Amino acid sequence: MQGSELNRDEIQSRRFFIAGLVTFFTSFALVVLGALRFVVPNVQYGKSLRFKVGMPSDFPDKAATYVSDQQIFIVRDGNSYLALSATCTHLGCAVRPDDASPGFFCPCHGSRFGSDGTNIAGPAPKPLEVYEVSLGNGGELIVDKRVRTSRKDRFRT
Amino acid sequence: MIENPPGFERSVLRRLGGAFNATSTGQFLATIPGAGKLFAGFRGGFWRALAKDVAHSGPWRSAFKHPLPQTPKEQSEIAITSFWMHLHPATVSRKSLKFSVTYGLGGLSAGLFAMLLITGIMLMFYYVPATDHAYKDMVDLQSAVSLGKILRNMHRWAAHLMVIVVCLHMLRVFIQKGYKPPRQFNWVIGVVLLVLTMMLSFTGYLLPWDQLALWAVTVGTNMAGAIPLIGEKFRYVLLGGPAVDQATLIRFYVLHVIVLPVAIMLVMVFHFWRVRKDGFSGGLEHDA
């Protein structure tokens, strides 16, 4: 019992003091680092990532229709439908239909995209994202933003 | 019983100047019709007696421990013991006082910051950092609040100017080699201040919640997202979600009005203190 207790000299030693300091500041740093977790939100309230956009016949042929509350374009070409993200792949601004060509134009830094979302000019490094389109029970188009597909793999009615 | 130090009486009266002088007050009142009659009872010794009472009161005397200094020795003693006096250096070399040494850029930056602090606090009386309020509050400040337009524009222009002046200050220090020993650490502190200024500028940019603000912050945080490995996570934490929204607005607001101003003030105080301790750069060659 006597041997396991620190004697007075040990408690007053420089080594004990430094060990105490190191322990204190290490635990303090760990607590601070752990507390940083606070700034990362755990819950996001928002719209469902899988949603109805309307009947296939609602969309005009050979045109891009903007679904503003979801920030996507539905591009219809005959019986094929493409759900394109309206978020520019450069720095995230919202693209809009190009006045000069059938594609899209980003007002922030001038990127241009073809009507199938292919990046053709400006700083955008990638084509616009393509989301999966399917048909709901009521015959309406359903877009799922969680599933990204290829522009070659178009949905056909 | 505390004894007045020698010269106390004289110093107090000199400090008070003519402000409470009975004769001049009486003369002033005589120019206002009816005032003479109204204040007739106060005429004569009233103001002088009041001034004397105040000057002899404990709180007043506690604020002026020393009489007005008459010699350089007394002056330097006050410079050591008085808070306000110690902010000013005891001696300054003539050369470093030349305007072309500093162009007053550091002082201008600090002055602009003071202006931003005051106008910013005043804007906070009307601005609510909510997505359905922010833009309307900003528009209201511009049109429906007394002095609101000049207040907001003072804040806006002072903010733009501060970024410019801070950069010019840095350029001036660089050109004059003010970053060289013994001032190398104050250059580092200055860089921290520059970064904090930029962060204040960026966080404040979102608060009007107009299209410019929204997309500028979208672009800015997407740039942060390009940091290798932690970029996406960092962007998520900055925005408080996947895109610029209410969570972002309140985050930027808290950073802009509390976190960053407090941080920059602490670092500024350290910066100024080091300026004093390292000596003024203009006097370098001639001081030694």
Q: Where are the domains of chain A?
A: 2-39, 50-156
Which pLDDT does position B41 carry in this prediction? 53
Which pLDDT does position A64 carry in this prediction? 92
Band (B89; pLDDT cuts 50, 70, 90): confident
- Chain B: give the shortest CA distance to residue A19, in Å: 31
Judge if ipTM > 0.95.
no
Q: What residue has token string 């003479």?
A: B36
**B242/A91 touch (CB, cutoff 8 Å), yes or no:** no
Band (B4; pLDDT cuts 50, 70, 90): low
Most confident of B10-24, B29-43, B66-80, B216-230: B216-230
Is B17 a residue whose pLDDT tops 60? no
Band (B147; pLDDT cuts 50, 70, 90): very high
pLDDT tens digits, residue range B208-221? 999 999 999 999 99
Q: Out of A40-49, A130-139, B148-157, B182-191, which region has the weakest mean confidence (pLDDT)?
A: A40-49
Band (B23; pLDDT cuts 50, 70, 90): low
If you measure CA to CA, which chain A residue comes closest to B221?
A91
Per CATH, the homologous superfamily of domain A50-156 is Rieske [2Fe-2S] iron-sulphur domain (2.102.10.10)
List the beta strands (DSSP E) in A42-136. Answer: 50-54, 63-67, 72-77, 80-85, 96-97, 104-105, 112-113, 119-121, 130-135
Q: Whose CA is closest to B189, among B258, B112, B269, B110?
A: B269
Band (B223; pLDDT cuts 50, 70, 90): very high
Rounded to whole angstroms, how far apart are CA atoms A109 and A125?
A: 12
pLDDT tens digits, residue range A82-120? 999 999 999 999 999 988 888 999 999 999 999 999 999
DSSP A50: E
The residue of A36, A91, A93, A126 whose CB has the most chain B CBs within 10 angstroms, and thus the best one to mutate to test that interface, is: A91
With beta carbons under 8 A apart, name residues in chain B contacting A93: 215, 218-219
- Chain A: give the shortest CA distance to residue B157, in Å: 24
Q: Whose CA is closest to A111, among A91, A131, A85?
A: A91
Residues near B155 by beta carbon (within 8 Å), at least 6 away in sequence:
B116, B119, B120, B123
* Tens-binned pLDDT, residue by residue, of chain A (157 aa): 455 666 788 888 899 999 999 999 999 999 999 999 999 999 888 888 899 999 999 999 988 999 988 999 999 999 999 999 999 999 999 999 988 888 999 999 999 999 999 999 999 999 999 999 999 999 999 999 999 998 887 888 8
Which pLDDT does position B102 carry in this prediction? 85
Q: What residue has token string 């400090």?
A: B15
Band (B171; pLDDT cuts 50, 70, 90): very high
pLDDT tens digits, residue range B38-78? 555 555 678 888 888 898 888 888 887 777 888 888 888 88
Architecture of domain B95-283: Up-down Bundle (1.20)
Average the pLDDT over B93-116 and give the result. Answer: 90
- Cα separations (Å) of B189 from B33, B167, B184, B195? 60, 14, 9, 10
Pull the structure tokens for residue A38: 């606070």
Q: DSSP 3-state assignment of B278?
A: helix
Q: Find the CB nearest B219 among A39, A40, A108.
A: A108
Could you tell me how many residues make up chain B? 288
Amino acid residing at B265 = M
If you measure CA to CA, which chain A residue comes closest to B243?
A92
Pull the structure tokens for residue B281: 């750069």
CB-based burial, A26-35: b 16+ in 10 Å, e otherwise: eeeeeeeeee
Q: What residue has token string 């006082």?
A: B97
Q: How many helices (H) and strands (E) does chain A have?
A: 2, 11
Q: Find the CB nearest A91 among B219, B233, B236.
A: B219
Q: DSSP 3-state assignment of B15?
A: helix
Q: At what angle do helices B260-278 and B105-123 cross, to 10 degrees?
A: 160
- Burial of A142: CB neighbours in 10 Å, binned 0-12, 13-18, 19+: middle
Rounded to whole angstroms, how far apart are CA atoms A43 and B23?
A: 73
What backbone phi and psi angles, to 5 degrees, belong to B125? -65, -25
List the beta strands (DSSP E) in A78-129. Answer: 80-85, 96-97, 104-105, 112-113, 119-121
Average the pLDDT over B170-180 and give the result. Answer: 91
Is B29 a residue whose pLDDT tops 60? no
Mean residue pLDDT across chain B: 85
Rounded to whole angstroms, how far apart are CA atoms B278 and A23?
A: 36
Q: Where are the domains of chain B?
A: 8-86, 95-283
- The pTM for the full model equals 0.78
